[in-house]
Structure 1
Amino acid sequence: MSVVMIAFISFQAQANSTPKVYDLTKYGINPNTGKNSSATLNQAIQKIVTEAGKGNPIVIKFKKGRYDFHEEGAQKRTYYISNHDQDNPKTVGITLENLSNITIDGQGSDLIFHGRMLPLALVENQNLSLKNLHIDFEQPQICQVKILENDTQAGTITYQTAPWVTYTIKDSTFYNTGEGWEMKPTSGIAFEEKTKHIVYNTSDIAVGTAHVAEISKGIIKAFKWKNSKLIPGTVVAMRSWHRPNPGIFVHKGKDTRLENVSVHYSEGMGLLAQLTENIYLEKFNVSLRGKNDPRYFTAQADATHFSGCKGVIISNNGRYENMMDDAINIHGTYLKITQKLDNKTVIAKYMHEQSYGFDWGYATDSVQFIQSKTMELWDNKNSIQSIEVIRRKDSDPIQDFKIVFTKPLDDYIDPTKLDIGIENLTWTPKVEFKGNTVRNNRARGALFSTPQKTVVENNLFDHTSGTAILLCGDSNGWYETGTCRDITIKNNKFINALTNMFQFTNAVISIYPEIPDLKNQQKYFHSGIKIENNYFETFDKPILYAKSVDGITFNNNTIKTNKEYPAFHWNKKEILFERVINANIKNNTIDGKPFVYPAN
């Protein structure tokens, strides 16, 4: 039975119970009033849940229109959100906590947020569906400008801010401003004016926010900004590296469905889900508002991101475009062992500054251990007998754990001699990523790091800027698990990936675990990789890069070359392998001729 069918059965069971329908207008929630809905909407939802009886299936419907949410009257919550800034409390627009059997139907409504907010928090819910909604902000923290003049000899650039941008200039420094916030952009991404592709071979650029003067309203001259690639008409998304909030936050959910939901801007991920079992995305978009949208950007970071989830993750028929990072990233988190107290007990720690503050595992969870420098997994798996948070006071975020295992640890599990990570195998999901469009984004397309069955099929990867698909794994920096054991990449179309260089971008499909000591590695990190019946259209050489793989198939793929950009990548081979065994490469073509590997 496919993972899609499993998810369908789960959600169909909910649908078979006839829900009671509630109209928000009857509770004083009306569209297009311009009023602040932050307090009133949450109150209305709580009233409806009380009337219906907690747990009884209900549908809550918006009347189609615009609803505004401001920080005033919004709820404050302490949420530690994976891969985001761990600043608290969060200001939350809509909070749905500890609910079950609820559908929120926006009927095409726009939820417009102001200031710096977390729009939707879905926390510890079961059988919750969200559909037919648009999530956006009145004034994004990304500042969009258009290049008007570029004097490369003088090193000056004149640019025009987009109509919705407000700003101030203090001490000759440009600051982007909004409701309750002010920030100085520190880097930028340049887009072609007509295509909205990221400008070839630019990657992250410096931006002209220092030594500036206002020529007229909205027209700024930067006296020390030099970049010959920024021709007049180029649009630059000037940004910082802050990511305080995703557009939608899902925490400890079970059977969550998002259908026909679009996030048009968020100051972090479009969607971040953690410690969640079974999440289904159907026509979920992190996207512009069509071809005529004057914006060139969407999310500040990944479109979707899943940390420490289990069950199934299904993303079908979505559109992920113009975000400042990947379309999807699925992983767990390695804890680092800092002490071994006895032959069954360790102290282990979240290591990355954006990945702590929430549960890591539970009693009976299955775990395995990894030697961080060589990224070699030890064969002997174990399970958790007990796990205890260690902190000085209850208000401190969760970072350190005392873990007792059911079986004695081998002598070589010794943190005084080796850097050792722990992976939670129970909280790893099966994945389907089908029928999606990924385009015009910074960094990479899709990242998968799960040992469970993963299918990547019938997707379009169009000008992903960096690598289109990355299989990674890292117990040294981000500490994001882990090995892929059964992944099929088939019937996808790749168009002009790798127009820019970002981390891990060694080919259109890059299998790139972070291995500091590859020369001393004895085992292999990834395995069971099948890449079949895909179409690659490319201006440059590298199609497939793989490192530390035992078992990879690259069959029946079609490669077509073009001259749309100059070739520039350091990797001059269509297929480049490092420590790869059991490779099966056959029946591939390049420009209509058989592709022979290795080349003669």
Structure 2
Amino acid sequence: MLKNTVLLLLLIFSLTLPLQAQTKVKTFHLDTYGVLPNLKENSAPKIALALLKIKAEIVAGDSVVIQFKKGRYEFHPEGALMREYYISNHDQDNPKLVGIELDGFKNLTLDGNGSDLMFHGRMLPLALIENTNLTVKNLRIDFEKPHIAQVKIVENDTLAGSIIFETAPWVSYTIRDSIFYNTGEGWEMQPIAGIAFEEDTKRIVYNSGDIAVGTSSVSELSPGLIKAHHWKNNKLIPGTVVAMRSYYRPTPGIFVHKGKNIGFRNVKVHYAEGMGLLAQLTENISLDGFEVALRGDDDPRYFTTQADATHFSSCKGKISSTNGFYEGMMDDAINIHGTYLKMTEKIDARTVIATYMHPQAYGFDWGYAGDDVQFVKSKTMDLWDHQNKIVSITPERKSKDVPLKAFRITFAKDLGHEIDPTTFDIGIENLTWTPSVIFSGNTIRNNRARGALFSTPKPTLIANNLFDHTSGCAILLCGDSNGWYETGACTDVTIRDNKFVNALTSMYQFTTAIISIYPEIPDLENQTTYFHSGIKIENNKFETFDHPILYAKSVNGLTFKNNTVITNQEYPEFHNNTNAILFERVINADVGDNTLNGSSINLLQTRSGIQD
């Protein structure tokens, strides 16, 4: 009996050994590698060396924690890693100067312990390349001198057409040939556009949108006090704060490429010259408590990122963003989409050449053998009832030094004679690289353009969010195979239990209502099918000063029920769409049980000749 018991214990012990090996945790403290906070020295080369040493000490099966000692770390371009990255929806110039690169790690947690990572010059702060089971937590990313020049209007002589403005204390500049240039470590830039903020609320000035800025024909009255001799805008009352910028977006704050199971916990991005976070070709990403935000109510800045707070291009699996906070960015809080390739040549019945079309979308993989695809007529956005599968996909280029722009793709089945680029402009969508989405418990406020964009056929839940003074529409369901080439058709979207407070105070692209279902369809009249479907908008609360609540175009199956609309007089009505609900080419719609200022009312209107 004793012998049997011993044998049993030995067997159990032997079976648990592999599990124990897999769960072994190794913790590495960066300060033991000479990476120390608060020294005002360049941490970039030291961290790169430390990560090389740590990687050499890791064996397969280790779970790894890399910890910062809490404090502030400086990162300068000198000595930083130089990498060639092609990043979706950014300017494709190379090389990039990288502050921290995590490449090829598995089962890793990077813990900042509440540290500030402060960047200088023009850099990509954090690059996560081909990692699996990686979590980043408890850190802040910021730049000492943002590439946006913040100024305050001191005097506005609307009759003379001149404005005097004062630069914020951290802004450095030079004036050359009467042109104002914002400057920093290794860079200078003439702002060409601006966003105007109310001084007290940090909200974008009503009905202002993108404004021209007076950075030519200027003179310095005293240090930090500039007169723009030919800048006229009667909305810029003294005290207005203007974020003067360009549209250049070289790098995000965080870049995720070809990862799997990537998580962010309590990570804050206070500024980046592109997106706050850009992820591409990644499977399963979760953001919990992620912020693209100011440093609290006392932060003297009025802006955060140069573009979107978060952006996901050609990802799959599940994307979740919960309990986030997004404010002051120069574009959307979240944008999820794939990329249409344009079919440029049909070689034979199963082989085509297809090409990236937008100048900010090329250089990275588009698909792989085994991926499912579908085809769309670009002008009408009609989807062919013909899905297919990739057998092979290879770059179509003269040499490996040329970035990926075109592909030779062979499909499993014949395409049929009608799918021919000599007859139609045709887009190709990769259905495999599309994610399901949960966007819940987030606050979006005081930002330019739009709140949240979703373009995926997988289930999408948008729930319990606060959209507070988004200057464009709050939610956009788009799809475009003509300009941005961002896929695609939504088939299962639930928008519920959200609160919308005075969205749509300015006009931007696709901002026809607070919720705008607006695929880009150049030839809607000749469309024969419907682009979006399966959209449910229920139990939301809209507080608004203007009319348009919902606009929908080319939808088969839309519910708008049990929503509450309350009007106020915070701003004058201005929108050219005076309908609460406006449908164009929508069928199988269920609109009812909604209230306007406490009374039940039918809010639906349709344009003439459109089905409803």
Deviation at 1:43, TM superposition (A): 1.0
**In structure 1, what is the equivalent of residue 524 of structure 2?**
518
Q: Residue type of the partner of 1:346?
A: V
Offset, 1:27: 1.2
- Matching residue within 379, 382, 385 for 1:376: 382
Q: Structure 1, residues 352-395: CA drift from partner, whole Å, max 9, x if none?
A: 00000000000010000000000000011000000010111111
Matched, 1:37 2:46: no
Structure 1: distance between partners of 2:532 and 2:151? 43
Would you say the 8 A contact 1:315–1:432 is kept in 2? Answer: yes
Supply the distance in 2 between the matched residues of 1:424 and 1:522 (Cα, whole angstroms): 22
The answer to whether structure 1 residue 190 and structure 2 residue 179 are counterparts is no
2:504 & 2:601 partners in 1: Cα distance?
21
Task: Using the TM superposition, give the Cα deviation of residue 53 of structure 1 relative to its aligned residue in structure 2, in angstroms.
Answer: 2.4
Counterparts of 1:49 and 1:341 in 2: how far apart (Å)? 46
Deviation of 1:14 (Å): 12
Q: In the alignment, which residue of structure 1 is the partner of 2:548?
A: 542
Secondary structure of 2:56's aligned partner? helix
Q: 1:54 to 1:247 in 2, by over 3 A?
A: farther
TM alignment of 1:106-505, pairs within 5 A: 106-505=112-511
Offset of residue 54 of structure 1? 5.1
The 8 Å contact of residues 152 and 167 in structure 2, kept in 1 or not, is answered as yes
Q: Distance in 1 between matches of 2:62 and 2:403?
A: 34
Return closer, same or farther for 1:374/1:46 CA change in 2, 3 Å cut-off: same
Amino acid of the residue matched to residue 527 of structure 1?
S
Q: 1:58 aligns with which of 56, 59, 64?
A: 64
- Partners of 1:42 and 1:539 in 2: CA distance: 52
CA drift at 1:596: 1.3
Alpha-carbon displacement from aligned partner over 1:491-532 (angstroms, at most 9, x marks no partner): 000000010000000000000000000000010000000000
Contact 2:151 2:168 in 1 (8 A): yes
Given that 1:173 and 1:212 are in contact with CA atoms closer than 8 Å, whether structure 2 keeps it comes out as: yes
- Between 1:182-191 and 1:47-56, the stretch displaced more is 47-56
SS at match of 1:550: strand
Shift of 1:17: 2.4
Q: Report the CA distance between 1:598 and its aligned residue.
A: 3.7
Is the CA contact (8 Å cut-off) linking 2:133 and 2:260 kept in structure 1? yes
| Deviations, residues 37-96 of structure 1 (Å, cap 9, x unaligned) | 010011112212212325521101111100000001100000000000000010100011
Equivalent pair of 1:122/1:253 in contact (CA under 8 Å): yes
| TM-score, length-scaled by structure 2 | 0.95
Cα pair 1:75 1:93 within 8 Å, conserved? yes
The corresponding residue for 2:4 is none
Instruction: Tell which structure's C-alpha radius of gyration is larger.
Output: 2
The amino acid across from 2:398 in the alignment is R
Structure 2 residue runs without a partner (length 5+): 1-18, 607-612
Paired amino acid for 2:446: N
Q: Is the counterpart of residue 83 in structure 1 residue 89 in structure 2?
A: yes
* Distance of 1:587 and 1:244 partners within structure 2: 48
User: Partners of 1:342 and 1:52 in 2: how far apart?
Assistant: 49
The alpha-carbon deviation at position 597 of structure 1 amounts to 3.6
Q: Do the aligned residues in 1 keep the contact of 2:24 with 2:62 (CA within 8 Å)?
A: no
**Greater displacement, 29-38 / 45-54:** 45-54
Q: Distance in 2 between matches of 1:31 and 1:458?
A: 38
- Residue 581 of structure 2, aligned match among 575, 579, 591: 575
Query: 1: distance between equivalents of 2:435 and 2:462?
Result: 14
**8 Å contact kept, 1:14–1:101:** no
- Give the counterpart letter for 1:533 in structure 2: N
- Alignment TM-score, normalising by the size of structure 1: 0.97
Q: Distance in 1 between matches of 2:537 and 2:399?
A: 50
Residues 111-157 of structure 1, C-alpha deviation per residue, up to 9 Å, x if partnerless? Answer: 00000000000000000110000000000000000000000001110
Partners of 2:154 and 2:24 lie apart in 1 by 58
Measure how far apart 1:29 and its partner are.
1.1
What SS does structure 1 have at the residue aligned with 2:31? helix
CA distance, structure 2, for counterparts of residue 409 and residue 426 of structure 1 = 19
Superposed CA deviations along residues 386-418 of structure 1, whole A, max 9, x for unmatched, are: 001011111110000000000011110110111
Paired position in structure 2 for 1:532: 538
| Cα offsets for 1:422-478 (capped at 9, x unmatched) | 000000000000000000000000000000000000000000000000000000001
Q: Name the aligned partner's letter for residue 111 of structure 1.
A: L
The count of residues paired between Structure 1 and Structure 2 equals 588
AA aligned opposite 2:183: T
Matching residue of 1:21: 27
Unmatched tracts of structure 1, length 5 or more: 1-12
Report SS of the residue matched to 2:205.
coil
Letter in 2 for 1:47: K
Instruction: Call closer, same or farther: CA 1:579–1:15 in 2, change over 3 Å.
Output: farther
2 CA distance for matches of 1:491 and 1:15? 45
| CA–CA separation in structure 1 for the residues paired with 2:570 and 2:580 | 18
4+ residue segments displaced more than 6 Å: 13-16
State the 1:15 CA deviation: 13
Q: Sequence identity, in percent?
A: 68
Q: C-alpha distance in 2, partners of 1:26/1:37?
A: 14
Amino acid at match of 1:489: I
Match of residue 609 from structure 2: none
1:7 aligns to what?
none
Instruction: Verify the 8 A CA contact 1:14 1:127 in the aligned structure 2.
Output: no
Contact 2:347 2:353 in 1 (8 A): yes
Identify if the C-alpha distance between structure 1 residues 279 and 598 changes in structure 2 by more than 3 Å, giving closer, same or farther: closer
Secondary structure at 1:48's aligned position in 2? helix
Within 1, Cα distance between the matches of 2:526 and 2:506?
Answer: 31
Separation in structure 2 between the aligned mates of residue 80 and residue 268 of structure 1, nearest angstrom: 13
AA aligned opposite 2:490: C
**Conserved 8 A contact 1:55-1:99:** no
Contact 2:490/2:532 (8 A) holds in 1: yes
